Structure 1
Amino acid sequence: NYPPNVECVWTILNTPGNVLYLRFEELKIQSSDSCNENYVEVRSKDESGLLIGAYCGQLSTLPYMSVVNDNLWVKFKSSTGVDKGFKAMYSIAYSNKIRRPSGDLQSPRYPSASIRKADYTWLITTESRSLIKISFNEVYFEGSSTCVDKLTIFDGYDQTAEVLKELCGLKDSTDLEKIQTSSNVVFIVFHAVAYPARFSLSWNQFTRSAKPPTKGSSVNCTQQLQIPLDSTVEFTSPGFPHGYGVNLKCEWILVTEPQNHLTIMFSTIDVERYRGCVSDRVEVFDGAMDGSWNQLATLCHQNDTETMYSGYSMMKVKFYSDFYGNKTGFSASASSVCGGSLSEPDGVIVLNRTDFVTDPCVWNITVKPGKRIEITFGSFKFPDSQDSTSCSKNYLILKDGFEDDAPFVGIGKYCDKIPPKVMVTSSNRLAVVASGGGSYAFSSQQMELRYITKSRTCTSNVHLSPKSLRSMIIRSPNYPNMPPPHSECTWQFFAPNYETIHIEFLDRFDLAYSFDCEKEYVELRDGSTELSPLLGRYCYSTPPPFVMTEGNALFIKYFTDTQYPNNGFKAKVSLSDCGGTYHDFYSGSIETPNYPAQYEAKVNCVWRFINPNVDNIKITVDRFRLGMFPFSKCNATTMDTLTITMVNRVDPNNSESWIVCGSNFTAPQEITGNEFLLNFTAASEQSQRQRISKVLGFKLNLRSYTTQCGGSLNLPSGEIKSPGYPTELRSTFCNWKITVPQGRRVTLNMTDFNLGINPGPGVYSPYVLIYNDFTYSSELAKWNGSLLQAQVFHHLATKC
C-alpha cells in the first residue's frame, strides 16, 4: 500500500525520432471525484505538456500509451486514502517508422552513449515523388576502426537496398558530407554492441522532376505505393511495353493498413530469360511481422501470370535486368483486401462492407508470449435474416488460436446482437473471421473491434509471515493438466527482514526440453524482479534441488512458448526455518533448527553476516556436535557439516573456507573480514541420526569488532595491513610510526597492493603515504588506486 500525502514524479527521457511506450500492468488507486485526490497523471514532455490521462480507481482496461520524440512525465499523488498503487512498464521502440517531410533523429539516450546487443532501426518515408537529404550533426564511436559498431544508411525500404553511407570508428564527424536518397524512403540501422556510440542527424525532403523512361533506358525505379482497402494499383517495369533498360535494379514497396493484406497478380511477364531465371527476373516478397522479408517467387516465364500472390500488409516486388538484351517487361496489379496479421500490443480492426459479401475476412492477432488478449466492440452489425439464432449465413467467429481445431472465444460465433462487452483469450493468439456464408451474400458487415494485451491472472505478490502465512503452494495453470499454450506466470514472494525463503518442488515436474530451456522453463531469482541475480532456470523432467534465497525476496517465472506445453509443476514456497542475511551485524547467536532438540534430516541453512564498518568477527562455541562420525574427515556431500566462508569481495575466487563436522570445532574462532557465510547442511538420513545416543546440533555466539588501525611499532620486524584486509577497503585513516634500534634503517617490503581504480579528478581516492620522519616533512612515496601493483616499489628503505 502507498502511504498518504505523498507525491512522486518520474520523467522518462526520449530523443527525437524515437517512440516511447508506457503500459500500466497494475492500477488500483482510491477513487475520488475527477481523480483529484489520489491519482496517477501522465503527460507528454513535462508538467505543462499535453495531458495524456489521469487515472484512479480500479480500471477494467489498463491504460497503454506512446509518444513520439517527446519525454513522458508521470506524477503520482495521494491525499488521505491508501490503496495498492500502480505498476507500469516503459520501453523505447527498437524499430521505428516515421512519416514526415523533415525532422531530427538521435540515438536512444543521446547525448549519452548507447550499447545494446541488437540493432535500432528507423524507416523514414516522405511525400510521394520526393527525395530525402540527410545531414549529420554528430556521429561518435568510442571503439576502434574495425567497424564492429556502425551506422548504416540504406537507399530503400530495408537492409537489402543499396548502401548510401556506412559510418564507423569516428570520433570527429564535423566534416561529414550530406547525402541524398534516390526515392522517398530511407532505412537507417544503428548497430552498437561492443563500445559506447551515439549519433544525431537531420533530414529534409525535396522535390525533383522525373523524366519519363525511354526504350532501353536505365532509370531509377524505386517506389512506395500506398494501397487503401478495396483498391487496386497497377505498376509496370520501366518502359513497358516498349522495352526496359540494361543493368536495372528496381523495387516497389506495396503497403496497406495493418489490419488488411495484399494480393499481387501479373498480367504480363516478358523478360529475357535463362535457365533458373538467373538473368532478367522478377522477385516477389512478403513482409513478415518481425520486419523481415520472405521471398515468395522468382519469375521469368510468360506463364507465371497464372498465380495470385498473397501476403501481409506489406509486400515487395524487385525487377533485375542484366547488361545484355531486353524484352517488353512486365505489368502487375496489387490489391488491398480485408484481413491480415497484427502483432502490435493493442489495435483496432474496422470493417465496413456494405456491398455484397462473399469472401471471408480473416485477421490473426499475436501478442507477446505469455500474455492474453482482451476484446471489446465499439460497434457491431452482422444481420442474418435467415437464422439469427444459429448465425448460419452472416457472422463473426472468434477463436483462441489459428489452428482449425482451436477453441472458441465465448460462444465463438456472433451475429445480430453485439457480443459481450469484454472477452479475454487464454493464449496470446486470436483469430477473427468475418464470413458472408459462401455463395449466400449479404449486404452489410460492420464492426469496430478493439484489442489490448492483458497480463495473466497467475501473477501475484505474496508476503510471507511467521504468524499468518508461513508457506504457499503455487502451480502452473491447470496443473496437473496441460496449461494454456504460450502461458507466462510470475510470482513475487517477500519475507520479513533478515528472513530467507526456500522453494521445494512437489509431485510431478514436467516441462518440455529445449536448448538452454528457451521454450519452456521455471526461473528463480534472488530478489523481487526479473533483473535480480539468477538462482537457476529449469526444464525437462528433473525437478530443481532445494533452493534458498540469500535475501528476503524470491521471484519465480513460469514460461512456455509452445502450442502444446507439458503438464507443468507444483511447488511449495516457505519461510526458511533457519538462515538469513544480517546487515550491519554486531552480535548475536545462531543455532540449528529445533535446538536444543535434534534437528531434522535434509536441512540446509545459510547465514550471511555483513558489516562494512568492522574488520573482525569472533565465534564462541556454546555447543557443537554434528553427524555420526565425530572424528572422520568432513565430507559435505554425505555428512552433516558446517562450512564457514570468509568472503573476499575484492577477489571472490580467493575467499577462504573451513568445513567442520563431528564434535570438534576446528575452524578459526577469530576471522578477519567484514562479510562471512555459515552454511549448515544435514546430509545424512534420519535413521542414521537416531542411532546416536547424544543429541545433535550446535549453538554459536558471534560478535563483530574493529581492530585498532595504526599505532607506534617498536619491534625489529613485523607486518601491517589495511583494516579488514584482504576484504574490501572501507573509509578509514591509519597512521603507523615504526621505530627500529639506533643505527639501523627500516626496510619496507610491499607484499600486496590493491586500492581499487582511481575514480577521477575531484573524487576521493584511497592512498598510502610514506615519510622518512615523524613530522611528515620528507615524503618517500605516495601510492593511489591509479597505480598497478607492478608499478609500486616492492622494496623501499629509509635513510635513517
Structure 2
Amino acid sequence: LQIERHDNCAYDYLEIRDGTNENSPLIGHFCGYDKPEDIRSTSNTLWMKFVSDGTVNKAGFAANFFKEEDECAKPDNGGCEQRCVNTLGSYRCACDPGYELGPDKKSCEAACGGLLTKLNGTITTPGWPKEYPPNKNCVWQVVAPTQYRISMKFEFFELEGNEVCKYDYVEIRSGLSSDSKLHGKFCGTEVPEVITSQYNNMRIEFRSDNTVSKKGFKAHFFSDKDECSKDNGGCQHECINTVGSYVCQCRNGFVLHENKHDCKEAECEQKIHSPNGIITSPNWPDKYPSRKECTWEISATPGQRVKLTFNEFEIEQHQECAYDHLEVFDGESEKSPILGRLCGNKIPDPLIATGNKMFLRFISDASVQRKGFQATHTTECGGRLKAETKPKDLYSHAQFGDNNYPVQADCDWLLVAERGYRVELMFQTFEVEEEADCGYDYVELFDGHDKTAVRLGRFCGSGPPEEIYSAGEALLLHFHTDDTINKKGFHIRYRSIKYPDSVHTKK
C-alpha cells in the first residue's frame, strides 16, 4: 500500500465495504504506507473503490483476493474432535480446558502436569485408563502448606522398560526443580513403594518415547502435617512423624515415660538390634551414679560390622583404667576379644568390630563420678568373614528389607574357609540396578584374597547368579553402587565345603 498520505484519507484512498455496493457496511478508508491487516467479508461479496485526485501520484496498492471457506461450518466440524477455529485460508483444531491436542492435531487427550495445591488427589498418565500416547513429558508440582509432608502411593503401575528405565519412566523428587533430591526413577510393572517427601513439595515427572506405549500409572497423593517439625513435637529425645500423628522415641538407655513425651533411664542391661543409634552412660548428660555396671549388646545385620564413634567422653582418669571405665569387646559378650578399655577425658578413636556384634560394659566405683560418655553406633559394610560348614548369612546393607541399598558404596567382603575347604556362595535374593555391562551398580567376585585374583564374574540385574565355588580357601566379594538408582540389594548364604578345584560355578 502506497497511497498519498492524509489523516482522514481525504485525497487519494482505497475504500472497502462488506457487501455488494457503496451503501454496504464500511470496513475502512485506507491511505498512506501502513499495510492494512487481512480483511475478511461476512458474506460472499466484498466491495472496493479506489479514488485519486488531480495532484500527487504514488505507486498505489496490490492485494490478493481469494474465496475463504469456513471449514468449521461443515458437518464434521473440520474433523476436529472438540473445537474448530476458522483461520484465513485454513482452520485449526483446539481442545476444551483440561485437554490438549494429540499428535494428529485433531484429536484431544487429557492434559498432563500442572501445579497441585490440594492436600490430596489423584495423578494418572495421559489417556488413563487407555494406553498413554508417545512423546509425552508431564510435570506435576505438588505443594502442601508449611510443616506438611507429601506421600505418593501408586495404585497401578505399567510403563515400558525394565530396570534401566531408558525409555518411558516416572521420576519423583523432593522439591520443585529438576535437580531436587531424587527419590527414584521407575518403569516396568513393579509397583513402587510409598514415597514421602522431605519437604512440603514434590515433583513428579513422566516421560514417554516415540515407540511402545503401556497403560501407565494411577497414583494417589496425600499431605500430612509433620508435627515433629515444630518444637520436636514436644518429645524429650526423638520425634517420629507418622500418617496423621507422631510418636516420641527415646535414645538407647532410656524408656518412654507414661506421658508419652518424656524419657526416663532404662534398666542397665540392653540388647540393641537397630542399625544405628546413640548409647550414653547412665544419667547422661548429668554425672553417672556410683557403683553402677551397665552392658550393651549390639547386633547388626549379618555381613555388616558394628562401628562405635564417641561424641563426648569424660570418665574418671587412671593410667590402667582400674576404677571407672568402659570396655568394648569384639563380639557378643565379655568373653570376646577386647577392642579397648577406656577412661579419661580424651575422646577415643572410633572402634570397629570384625563382625556384626559388639559388647560394651561400663563400670563405676564408689568414689569419683564424671559426666560419662555419649557414643553413636552405626554399621560399616565389608570385612573378613569365616566360612564354616554351617551356612551363614550375608546382606548387602544394614537396612536390607526395609530400605534399598545406599548410593556411592564400595564394600569388600573376604570369605575364608576352613583349611582344606572351599567357599560355597548361594544367592537367596538378588536385585541390583541393571545395565548391559553392569557398569553402574554391581557385585564382583574374585577367586582369592584380593582383586588380583581370577575374576569369577560381575553381576547386576534381578536374576540371582547360580551357586559359586572358590578354587582355593578364599573368595573376595566386591559390591559397588553409583550415585543414582538404588535397589533392594542381595542376601547371600555362604559356607565351607569340599569341592573339586577346577569348578567355579554350577552349570
**Which TM-score band (shorter chain)?**
0.3 to 0.5
When Rg is computed on C-alpha atoms for both structures, the one with the higher figure is: 2
Higher relative contact order (CA 8 A, sep 6+): 2
Q: Compute the TM-score of the two structures, normalised by the length of structure 2.
A: 0.33
Give the TM-score, by structure 1 length: 0.23
